[in-house]
Structure 1
Amino acid sequence: MRRSISLVEVLLVLASICESPWAVWSSSQCTQTSSREVRPHSVTITEFGAVGDGIILNTKAFQNAIFYLKSFTDKGGAQLFVPAGRWLTGSFELISHLTLLLDKEAIILGSTHPDDWPVVDPLPSYGRGRELPGARHRSLIYGSNLIDVIITGDNGTIDGQGHVWWNWFRNGNLNYTRPHLVEFINSTGVVISNLTFLNSPFWTIHPVYCSQVLVQKATILAPLHSPNTDGIDPDSSSDVCIEDCYISTGDDLISIKSGWDEYGISYARPSTNIIIRRIVGQTLSSSGIAIGSEMSGGVSEVHAEGLQFFNSKTGIRIKTAPGRGGYVRNIYVSDVKLTDVKMAIRFTGQYGEHPDEFYDPNALPIINNVTFKDIRGDNISIAGLLEGVEGESFQNICLSNITLNVTSTSPWKCSFIKGYSDLVYPETCEPLRERIFPEHSSACYHLSNHLQSLSGRKRPTWLLPRLSLSFTVL
């Protein structure tokens, strides 16, 4: 029987991450010299009248503190410290060269009143709110056009108190799309680390139109039946690293996006150069790693490895549809362990939902150069349901060294795809049965030079110290 994971089990899983040979943080391709920058100026939220009793609303205190610290952005930056306590607040906006630092006993609580979450314009690559036409609520913690911003702590907590939003959504009582918990727009040099994120109203961490983003050592939790509570959604963003996270939510744990139909095609901002490493988690409703369904600006150069998904609906999924346009290419997923997962791999070429009637149904997505390698699975219902798009087959889909303990008598179902395989058990579907080696190895995507494995390789330049920042170890 499927069940929700307990807090004790979460801690045990996190402990197993630390002990496993592929979870040595210091050896990570993504790890910077540290995750906390020394700022020359620092204040505490209580200096601005905040009260950490979980009852008094502290929105003005956060806003006033950040307004005060803005005068230090050109003087080496500043830090806002949140001490132990329960700090209730509405949405507040960050600034460049800022560290938001949470004590290990600090809990930032999102207000349960919608008026405390301002309504803002829709994203141009979506053309409307993702759930409802028109505007959307702003995230609890928000930043736009920023440089060098860090949210970190000694595993402090940011709790969106999303239960009220989930009920409003289910009952059809919302006028605008629900807010994310943390969103950065058009920002460079974003670090989110060493924190727990709970109960987001909608997607939890959403960097959109961003570059040089690091999400590291985050725990993201929401009830398994909460609606659309994605964990981390890089969206039209480049040079993104997500590593050493535990995620248990009501939707995709990580979903890579790049805009919706004609709006994403027009905005033309792809998601590219994305590294995902050492992720553990579960989702009853969706996927461990997903691409799409909003991928109209394109997704490429994605490298994911060291993944453990359990008690989940799907392991890895690509979602798209006619009208999306765009492309998904140069995807490499390896070193995956699946346990009690209904479907190991899924491609969905008819994932409906369009923003409006103005999309072009002839804008067909292009999916090619996708490699899945070194995957093991126990108690898997279906190995793969791979459904492409008629008239535009998914090309160069390559499966290598995959062993799945499957309960279904029809483990693979495929349509409108073409590719190759080696060492796959149970034997894959007919369109993928041609051997990779030796004749088709050049058709199967492997890592490009800047996303190679750790053996003797330099880190990508965007993960090296940048912007003349100095770091100290936590």
Structure 2
Amino acid sequence: MLVPLLLLLALSNALEIIGEESDGHCSDQLILNPRPHSVSILEFGAVGDGKTLNTIAFQNAIFYLKSFADKGGAQLYVPSGRWLTGSFNLTSNLTLFLERGAVILGSQDPSHWETVDPLPSYGRGIELPGRRYQSLINGYMLYDVVITGDNGTIDGQGSVWWDWFSSHSLNYSRPHLVEFISSNYIVVSNLTFLNAPAYNIHPVYCSYVHVQNISVYAPPESPYTVGIVPDSSDNVCIEDCSISMGYDAISLKSGWDEYGIAYGRPTTNVHIKQVHLQSSSGSSLAFGSEMSGGISNVRVEKVHLYNSFNGIEFRTTRGRGGYIKEIIISDVEMAKVYMAFGATGQCGTHPDDSFDPNALPILDSITLQNVIGTNITIAGSFIGIQDSPFTSICLSNITLSITSGSPTSWVCSNILGFSESVFPEPCPDLEISYTNSSQACFSLINPNGKSAVL
């Protein structure tokens, strides 16, 4: 089947899209280039009836397209239909294109999902010791991969996984929808993601990842479902996305306790902008709690957080090690959020008993500015670690409308910070004026308001 020329022109080369974004900023406009070779999944015997299992068709198509990697790459075109499949692997210099009306369905039979070793920076599966289910769509040590379309859909059909998780019936940790490991120049755009078993998009040990113009949804009751999870990855751009999840919408991570410390790869140079985030039981935007490799140089701007348990939360605990630092979050609108800001040093479990209780995490240089919130119950809770207090928590130009009958506006301990033009008035640990400590608060920001470190 020949793919229309118009669709070929919509295919993009990831190297051209983000290859020059060494500062971690999102590009203003994607530059689209055609792939010179294209095939349809129909050519490999796939049937889009929502019942026929197409795993072998996807595997055979990608094996065939692998031969074009050194000839400018290729695209796999998925037309309108419901394409049931188990897990499959991508290849380098590839575009996976989903036409409008195309739905890739994850099989609800766990035997159709491979199992793989745990990630080295975690040491075990996140939910259960040992191996884990491989994600639906996978990339390992790849280069220049695009997953895009004309608003096609990837549906994990996760309800059975949620039931198995809640009933403790799983033998391995749940799979994700899309996972790239140790890969560079990755683009995910113009798609809808539904009902992931756990995470939706999980780049881990990756560089130059661009996620743009996607919609992500899982129902409020879905347990610990998460939207986008940059994990021990750098130069990540997330923009123009709408995400509504059972747990976290966007969560930055970098490994778990002694395994993350040993692997030693941080998440750094991340830019998130113009996103709409909703979280039913977790946080719209979360940092950690698995952050043992470190998280730094993150810029978040022009975001809308709504109908969420927590708005922005920093999570860690004794034994994590690592750091969360040099974070700038600005131009935020919140509506109907229980707790606007949170930072806790008592969050999360440990993978095993081998963690070092003396591995104290550092949380430092966090700037929150230009925030308007309505229908907020608690303004903020900042609970640091006695032996490693949270430092340089900088608040500026924040106005939160607190719901009537709220028990308290701020809760603070073991933190040191600064504030200016904040309502309601923060706790004493945050009341030192910017004018006395401007260097600590604004060292990350140059005179035009832009981040100096991203």
TM-score (norm 2): 0.92
CA contact (8 A) 1:35 1:191 kept: no
**Structure 1 residue aligned with 2:129, among 128, 133, 140?**
133
* 1:392 is aligned to 2:384: no
Give 1:12's aligned residue. Answer: none
CA contact (8 A) 1:35 1:193 kept: no
Alignment of 1:208-357 (within 5 A): 208-357=204-353
Aligned letter for 2:315?
K
SS of corresponding position for 2:162: helix
Aligned letter for 1:158?
I
**How far, CA to CA, are the matches of 1:197 and 1:363 in structure 2?**
37
Count of matched residue pairs:
428
* 1:165 is aligned to 2:161: yes
Displacement of 1:35 after TM fit?
5.9
**How far, CA to CA, are the matches of 1:180 and 1:167 in structure 2?**
16
Aligned letter for 2:191?
L
Deviations 1:9-46 (A, max 9, x none): xxxxxxxxxxxxxxxxxxx9513642643110000000
* 1:440 is aligned to 2:437: yes
Structure 1 gap segments, 5+ residues each:
1-27, 461-474
Displacement of 1:309 after TM fit?
1.1
**How far, CA to CA, are the matches of 1:129 and 1:245 in structure 2?**
28
Displacement of 1:265 after TM fit?
0.3
Give 1:122's aligned residue. Answer: 118
**How far, CA to CA, are the matches of 2:330 and 2:393 in structure 1?**
14
Report the CA distance shift for 1:301/1:38 in structure 2 as closer, same or farther (over 3 A): same
RMSD of aligned alpha carbons:
1.7
CA contact (8 A) 1:332 1:446 kept: no
**How far, CA to CA, are the matches of 2:32 and 2:116 in structure 1?**
31
**How far, CA to CA, are the matches of 1:99 and 1:330 in structure 2?**
35
**How far, CA to CA, are the matches of 2:449 and 2:73 in structure 1?**
34
CA contact (8 A) 2:130 2:172 kept: yes
Give 1:103's aligned residue. Answer: 99
Displacement of 1:284 after TM fit?
1.5
**How far, CA to CA, are the matches of 1:177 and 1:446 in structure 2?**
41
Of structures 1 and 2, the one scoring higher in RCO (CA 8 A, sep 6+) is 1
SS of corresponding position for 2:60: helix
Give 2:416's aligned residue. Answer: 418
Deviations 1:386-405 (A, max 9, x none): 11111110011100000001
Alignment of 1:369-380 (within 5 A): 369-380=365-376
Give 1:93's aligned residue. Answer: 89
More deviation, 106-115/404-413: 404-413
**How far, CA to CA, are the matches of 2:275 and 2:395 in structure 1?**
21
SS of corresponding position for 1:122: coil
**How far, CA to CA, are the matches of 2:449 and 2:216 in structure 1?**
28
Report the CA distance shift for 1:186/1:335 in structure 2 as closer, same or farther (over 3 A): same
SS of corresponding position for 2:226: coil
CA contact (8 A) 2:81 2:101 kept: yes
Q: Which runs of structure 1 show a deviation greater than 2 angstroms over 4 or more consecutive aligned residues?
A: 31-37, 445-449, 451-454
SS of corresponding position for 1:264: helix
SS of corresponding position for 2:364: strand
Deviations 1:177-199 (A, max 9, x none): 00011000000000000000000
Displacement of 1:426 after TM fit?
0.4
CA contact (8 A) 2:25 2:237 kept: no
SS of corresponding position for 1:239: strand
CA contact (8 A) 1:332 1:445 kept: no
Deviations 1:382-427 (A, max 9, x none): 0001111111100111000000011224200100000100000000
Alignment of 1:182-221 (within 5 A): 182-221=178-217
